[in-house]
Chains A and B, each alone.
Chain A
Amino acid sequence: MTKIIRRERLVPNIHLLEVEAPEMARRCKPGQFVMLMPDERGERIPLTIADWDAEKGTVSSVFMAVGTSTQKLALLKAGDELPVYAGPLGKPAEIEKFGTVLCAGGCYGIGAIYPIVRALKEAGNTVYTLIDVKANFLMYWEERLKRYSDEFFVSSRDSFFDCKEYIPNVLEKVLQKSKLDRVISIGCTYLMYTCSEATRPKGIKTIVSLNPVMVDGTGMCGACRCTIEGRTKFACVDGPDFDGHAVDWDELFYRRKSYFEDEIRSMCYWEKESLLKE
């Protein structure tokens, strides 16, 4: 059992989960993820590691409450225990001195991209950070991202930020002005896809952190298979980071939606079982 140290709402629908996992905390690298189960009847789900503290022995993730597992997680509090918490899994993000790197994140990816921003800066890169939020009140971790960013951009549809744009539009604008050596994008699939498409014409290497459905997260089942340059890869062990220009996005979109009806059934059942009883 893994003890929760903190579970707190960052912004509506997005939460921070910090757990006690000293062994893991010593080994985490940017871009890796954990597999966890919110309770004994839960599903094993992957969450990217958004931060860790080797001294304190804790590991954190940021998650968006979208379905049964994440809704269950959102109701847990400090002191509660998770029956499954395994990791760190997946290949770490490639961190080198590339030159100028733009990190693009949205929704849970704002948190998930933070260790990469930090590591890239520490490796001597010029780091541009581009964050997508639907509205200003959905922004979080702005301060800590800015600390490691040479430039900080926001794309939003909210008049609070004086830009009413989606992330690829802002990315294209940055591309016109500056020479980028690499783009790294984490967040919902659509965001990663559009970022990859935005950089494709100029051929700028774009790394995405793929999020297919997973079961074990250790290479045992093949649920997470994705097609990269025509070849099948297991995202949990061969990735999760891949070249965004080589990903078969269509396949990823439809595979992620495989269980759409079951997910709704699951949520209705769980709400009726646990929430309405009280």
Chain B
Amino acid sequence: MADKKTELSPELKARQKAGFIEEWRKEMRKAIPVKERMKMPRQKMPEREADERNKDFEEVNLGLKAKEAVIEAKRCLDCANPQCVAGCPVGIDIPTFIKLIEAGKFSESARKLKETNSLPSICGRVCPQETQCEEVCNLKKATGVPVAIGNLERFASDVERMEGDVFIPKIPPSTGHKVAILGAGPAGLTVAGELAKKGHQITVFEALHMAGGVLVYGIPEFRLPKKILDAEIDYLRKLGVEFRMNFVVGMTATLDDLKQEGYEAFFVGTGAGLPNFMRIPGENLIGIYSANEYLTRVNLMRAYDFPKYDTPVFPGHRVAVLGGGNVAMDSVRTAKRLGAELAAIVYRRSRVEMPARIEEVHHAEEEGIEFHFLTTPTRFIGDENHKVKAMECLRMELGEPDSSGRRRPVPIEGSEFIMEVDLVVVSIGNSPNPLIGQTTPELEIGKWGNVEVDWDTMATNMEGVYAGGDIVRGGATVILAMGDARVAAGEMHKYLNGSG
């Protein structure tokens, strides 16, 4: 359901142009000739040794140092027609933030980012830049190696945070309008921040005991440290956002109940929390987890520190992770860190079809993850204690392209073989969370269980109720969730003003 890049809108074009013709930018362009810039090598993201990092949960990437970041920023040609901006789902003013880094104005660069991206320190770490801004970067066309836009985004926002220089905008006097945000994932957090800055009174209702959605229960510490997320939540608190944790909308109170309590506008950002299973024999054996369960146990409940923390997780010596997306990479790398001798991806298509970020795949390979492509399990086999001990698999080959444009995997007859495993993590996607739909009968739900919206405004069929992120898209990305949220926030602000 995720949509592809768009042409720059007229406003975006005008904004780009205004920045482009500023004096300091002109001078900076003149200072180093394009040819020179094109010769500079892409600065490598410093990372911890594979053999050291695959044993703990500390962050893998260490972040560019200031010197490296400035060099990397110099590689950017500051194009008159910056393709990268069109490649970014939220249209970040990429050349300007990069040129601010080149000028050494790091905190200013971070603020520039925040004009369009509420969570740059997170997006800098988890966005699939190689298929977005970096894919269409003009430097890539010219030299084959794009500007490391993601690494620079991460750098600027990290510096701002680490220097305690986070800018808290002045909040206008309260408008008196109450807004309810359902779900504290990236979508909900973004709407909360945007509307709090407009002076509305925001309450975020979250079912779990920590805010962040997938960012806190799904994406592991080694890729997105909790302290980054904590800083973002802290920032929202400073903007006056109230968090109501352990509040399951639909159960603790319904959307209608909240309306009765005086909430005027709603944003549904409850994500795609329902794990899909393979529906093959033996799937309920002990030792078969959904990726959600596995990652929640380890990340949210800190099972990696069991028994200091009470929640256990099966360690697994031979672990198979089914799937080829980011969720699968996170699961398999987690298994390795918990001591697995064999930690393998089992994926029914081939390497090129894997939807995971390229960086994660590289990191996984370096860390000793095995990849079994064109393989699919057909049943799980248990021991006398009903614990999984093996799975029967089939080899596949690629046939005709399917509706997604990827070649459809077809089983090779008679190719069954047995793979011995003691832990399986099923990571074949999630569906939208059905709870809100079930408890809000008026709300229009699409055939995939998604909340239906008008894509221009993110409005649902219910007045004052907007939605965005995975609950409307199915499993998508952080940046798309945030893009939806920004559109919704703008419309909600208009709605509140009109009704006020």
Contact between chains at B252 and A87 (CB < 8 Å): yes
List the B side residues contacting A147 at CB < 8 Å: none
Q: Is B273 an interface residue (CB 8 A)?
A: yes
Q: Given A222-B293, A269-B307, A269-B308, do A84 and B286 touch, yes or no (CB 8 Å)? A: no
Given the complex of chains A and B, what is the CA–CA distance between A243 and B256 in angstroms? Answer: 32
B307 touching A265 by the CB < 8 A rule? yes
Interface presence of B274 (CB below 8 A):
yes
**Is B273 touching A215 in the complex (CB atoms < 8 A)?**
no
How far in angstroms is the closest Cβ of chain A from B372?
23
Question: Across the interface, do B274 and A219 meet the contact criterion of CB distance under 8 Å?
Answer: yes
B118 at the interface (CB under 8 A from A): no
**Interface segment, one of B44-52, B243-251, B468-476:** B243-251
- Residues from chain A with a CB closer than 8 A to the CB of B386 are 250-251, 254-255
Contacts of A220 in B (CB 8 A): 273-275, 292, 296, 433
Q: Chain B interface: which of A10-18, A40-48, A137-145?
A: A40-48
Q: Which of A55-86 contact B (CB under 8 A)?
A: 68-69, 83-86
Beta-carbon contact of A237 and B248 below 8 Å: no
Q: Verify B209–A89 contact, CB threshold 8 A.
A: no
> Known: A84-B209, A232-B284, A258-B286. Is A219-B273 also a contact (CB below 8 A)?
yes
Among B277, B293, B296, B310, max chain A CB count under 10 A is at B310
Contact A89 B312 (CB under 8 A): no
Does residue A23 face the partner (Cβ distance < 8 Å to B)? yes
Q: Does B283 lie at the interface of the complex (its beta carbon under 8 Å from any beta carbon of A)? A: yes
Smallest CB separation, A39 vs chain B (Å): 9
A223 and B284 contact, Cβ closer than 8 Å, known pairs A86-B247, A262-B312: no
CA–CA, A215 to B275, complex, Å?
Answer: 13
Interface code A234-257, partner B: CB below 8 Å = 1, 0 otherwise? 000100000000000011001100
The answer to whether A85 and B246 have CB atoms under 8 Å apart is: yes
Complexed CA–CA distance, A69 and B311 (Å)? 10
Please name the residue on chain B nearest to A45 by beta carbon. B310
Residues of A within 8 A of B273 (CB): 218-220
Say whether, besides A86-B247, A251-B386, A259 and B308 are in contact (CB < 8 Å). Answer: no
CA distance A254 to B388 in the complex (A): 12
B159 within 8 A of A: no
CB of A266 within 8 A of CB of B306, answer yes
The size class of the interface chain A forms with chain B is 35 or more
Q: Is the CB of A221 within 8 A of B435?
A: no
The answer to the question of A202 belonging to the interface, with a C-beta cut-off of 8 Å to chain B, is no
> What are the residues of chain A within 8 A of B292 when measuring CB–CB?
220-222
Contacts of B289 in A (CB 8 A): 222-223
Please measure, in the bound complex, the distance between the C-alpha atom of A44 and the C-alpha atom of B279, giving whole angstroms.
27
Q: Is the CB of A251 within 8 A of B284?
A: yes
Bound-complex Cα distance A6 to B440 (A) = 34
- Contact flags B382-396 to A (C-beta < 8 A → 1, else 0): 000110000000000
CB of A88 within 8 A of CB of B251, answer: yes
Main secondary structure of the interface of A (DSSP, over half): mixed
Tell me if A121 counts as interface (CB < 8 A to partner B).
no
Q: Which residue on A lies nearest to B386, using beta carbons?
A: A254
Docked CA distance A24–B252 (Å) = 5
A227 close to B (CB within 8 Å): yes
Chain B: interface residue total (CB-CB under 8 A): 38
A224 — nearest CB in chain B belongs to which residue?
Answer: B293
Question: Which A253-278 residues have a C-beta within 8 angstroms of B?
Answer: 254-255, 258-259, 262-263, 265-266, 269-270
Q: Is B496 on the interface with A (CB-CB < 8 A)?
A: no
The answer on a CB contact under 8 Å between A232 and B209 is no
A216 at interface by CB-CB < 8 Å: yes
How distant is the Cα of A232 from the Cα of B248 in the complex, in angstroms? 23
| Residues of the B chain whose Cβ atoms lie less than 8 Å from the Cβ of A87 | 248, 251-252
Choice from A23, A222, A250 contacting B290 with Cβ under 8 Å: A222
Asked if B301 contacts A215 (CB within 8 A), the reply is yes
A86-B247, A220-B273, A251-B386 known; A43 and B310 CB under 8 Å?
Answer: yes
CA distance A83 to B312 in the complex (A): 19
Query: Is A7 in contact with chain B by the CB < 8 A criterion?
Result: no
A37→B311 CA distance, assembly (Å) = 11
* Inter-chain contacts of A263 with B (CB < 8 A): 312
Given the interface pairs A87-B252, A219-B274, A255-B284, the reply to whether A43 lies near B301 with Cβ below 8 Å is yes
Given contacts A27-B253, A88-B252, A223-B293, contact A218 B435 (CB under 8 A): yes
Shortest distance between the CB of B308 and any CB in chain A (Å): 7
Most buried by B among A2, A84, A86: A86
Contact (Cβ within 8 A) A221 B275: yes
- The answer to whether A221 and B290 have CB atoms under 8 Å apart is yes
- Chain A neighbourhood of B307, CB < 8 A: 262, 265-266, 269-270
Tell me the smallest distance from the CB of A208 to a CB of chain B, in Å: 18
Interface residue? B434 (CB, 8 A):
yes
Task: Give the shortest distance, in Å, between B269 (CB) and chain A (any CB).
Answer: 15
Q: For residue B271, which residue of chain A has the nearest CB?
A: A220
- In the complex, residue of chain B having the shortest beta-carbon distance to the beta carbon of A212: B284
Contacting B at CB under 8 A, from A67-119, are: 68-69, 83-89
Also in contact, A37 and B283, with CB within 8 A (given A87-B252, A220-B273, A254-B385): no
Q: How far is the CA of A136 from the CA of B289 in the complex (A)?
A: 42
| A89 to B312 CA separation, bound complex (whole angstroms) | 23
Docked pose: A251 CA to B281 CA in angstroms: 13
Q: Could you mark each residue 275-317 of chain B with 1 if its beta carbon is under 8 Å from any beta carbon of chain A, else 0?
A: 1010100011010011011001100011000111111101000
A237–B449 CA distance with the chains assembled, in angstroms:
15
B246 with A232: CB separation less than 8 A: no
Q: Which of A22-44 contact B (CB under 8 A)?
A: 23-24, 27, 37, 41-44
Q: Chain B: which residue is nearest A264 at the CB level?
A: B307
- Complex Cα gap A37–B283 (Å): 28
With known contacts A216-B296, A220-B296, A221-B292, A266–B312 Cβ distance under 8 A: yes
Whose C-beta in chain A lies nearest to the C-beta of B313?
A262
CA distance A272 to B331 in the complex (A): 32
Cα distance, A265 to B315, chains bound together (Å): 14
* B342 is an interface residue with CB less than 8 A from chain A: no
- Residues of B near A221 (CB, < 8 A) are 275, 290, 292-293, 296
B207 at the interface (CB under 8 A from A): yes
Cα distance, A84 to B209, chains bound together (Å): 6
What separation, in Å, do the CA atoms of A27 and B249 have in the docked complex? 12
Besides the known contacts A23-B253, A44-B301, 10 further A-B residue pairs in the complex with CB atoms under 8 A apart: A42-B310, A69-B310, A88-B251, A215-B296, A221-B275, A232-B279, A251-B386, A254-B286, A255-B286, A262-B307
17 residue pairs of the A-B complex, CB under 8 angstroms, read A41-B310, A44-B209, A68-B310, A86-B246, A87-B251, A215-B297, A219-B274, A219-B434, A221-B290, A222-B275, A225-B284, A250-B386, A251-B284, A254-B386, A255-B386, A265-B307, A266-B307
In order of increasing CB-CB distance, the 3 nearest A-B pairs are A262-B312, A221-B293, A269-B307
